[in-house]
Amino acid sequence: MGNLWSNLFTFIIISSHLFSQFGSVEISFDDRLLRNDEKQVLLPLKEDIKRFFLATSWDEEYIDLDIPLYIQLIFQGSSSKGNVKTFLCQALFTNGSDLRYFDKGVQFYYSAGTNLYFDLVLFEPLSGFLAFYAQLILAGEIDTYEFRGGNTAFEFAREIALRGSGSEYKKGWASRTALVDDLSGNSGLRKARLAYYVANDLMKEGDVEGAIKEFENMLDGLEQTYLDFGREQQAQYFMKVQSENLVQIFSSIGQRKLLQDIKELDPDRWELYQTALDSMSE
């Protein structure tokens, strides 16, 4: 099985900017806790990470997604063993919309001139860490095109996490394994996100009736998530990001029931929904 995954991953990851799934990559560092000499070591890292995402094709089918990617690394310190300098940091990965993952701590070694390249068999902590979140973002994006479309990317992410757990740099990989399991197993949220994006497309095409049915599917998915997982973090973030658009659409098509339903599912923005409901009553 290991050789199968390795061969498949090698087949899919082909260096070619033309077929990269990521259209842009913005990276910021918070290195205030590092010494000046440590900061100097990290000077090439931003461009190395950017090149890593843009020069890799992560999926052979979805080749034109043009996903924007935003990464923040918050460095907490470093240590040296021989000629190897190891850094500890927290990280944030987001597509600038409803996919957002915060990692509480990763440990990796880095030196100037490092060529970031992911290999599933010869596991390396930094490229493995970056590839893991590349797959999570990719899975979430593909899920908006077809139900469970992100399964392959989730499986890649899980395999990376398992390799990380078995490596010398184990920090954080157990929680990343749990994260990918939670995301891939959250059928309600995956259904809700797909329905939301399909509904938006139908609205643009003028198919209001079809859009309403998809928004109802979205609400069903969010309710399923609540029943299965309670106030789950990713579902809460999805509703936060999309709430204003939902209010605008539901109000424009006179859908009081949809507004009432989303208000019950998203109490954190109760006032936003209630204001829209009050406006429709005037």
Mean pLDDT, the chain cut into blocks of 10 residues (282 residues total): 45 45 96 95 94 88 90 94 88 98 94 82 93 97 96 97 94 96 98 98 98 98 97 96 98 96 97 96 67
Pick the last residue of a domain from 123, 152, 185: 185
pLDDT at 19: 55
Strand pairing report for 67-81 and 22-30: parallel
Helices vs strands, H then E, count in the chain: 11, 6
**In the structure encoding, which two tokens stand for residue 169, read together?**
């740099």
pLDDT at 73: 98
Looking at the fold, whether 180 and 47 belong to one and the same domain comes out as yes
122 vs 140: CA distance, rounded Å:
27
Looking at the fold, whether 28 and 142 belong to one and the same domain comes out as yes
**In the structure encoding, which two tokens stand for residue 148, read together?**
């469970």
The CATH number linked to 275 is 1.25.40
Distances (CA, A) of 24 to 32, 47, 65, 132, 211: 26, 12, 11, 18, 30
pLDDT at 282: 58
Pick the last residue of a domain from 185, 202, 233: 185
Show the domain range for 271.
188-281
Sign (positive/negative) of CA torsion 60, 62, 64, 68? negative
Total domains in the fold of the chain: 2
Task: Break the chain down into helix, strand, coil percent, rounded to 5.
Answer: 55, 15, 25
Pick the last residue of a domain from 161, 185, 209: 185
